[in-house]
Structure 1
Amino acid sequence: MLIECCMNNVHNGTDEVINSLLSLPHVEIVEYGCLTQCGVCNQEHFLFINDTYVAGETPAQLLEKINKICFTLT
């Protein structure tokens, strides 16, 4: 599973989610300086998972959505 993150968004709290995902098997995390999502970057926490935009209002909500996706893919 490829997880892409924006470093600007990571500094807003998404780093908590990334740290939780590091222990998952078959996960590759790629950090970019910018993912051109500037309109939402300061409004919500987001990552791209296998090229799919996934967002949450809080880091916990984002992690919950990611967990649902991971269980669907396995």
Structure 2
Amino acid sequence: MKMLIECCMNNIHNGTGEVLKAFHSLPHVEIVEYGCLTQCGICRQENFLFINGTFVAGETPDQLLEKINKMCFTLT
């Protein structure tokens, strides 16, 4: 199953970019970068991505990566 990760370029600087690096080389992952995903209130406070259309956020990049990993294991 291909995983779609959608990210907000405005959130990359908060640490989300570090999380994306973990997925860039995986062949089953497609990353789509948007200028804005209209999540501005959350964007200022947390790291977030959309994984297969589901909003996932974490206070730190490590928390976000942990949530994504847990989510992916339940998707398979």
TM-score (normalised: structure 1): 0.94
Counterpart of 1:59?
Answer: 61
Counterpart of 1:9?
Answer: 11
Which AA in structure 1 matches 2:23? L
TM-score (normalised: structure 2): 0.92
Which AA in structure 2 matches 1:42? R
- CA deviation string 1:32-61 (max 9, x = no partner): 000000011010000000110000000000
Overall identity of the aligned pairs, in %: 81
Distance 1:23 1:70 in 2: 16
SS at match of 2:25: coil
- The alignment covers a number of residue pairs equal to 74
**Greater helix share, 1 or 2?**
1
SS at match of 2:11: helix
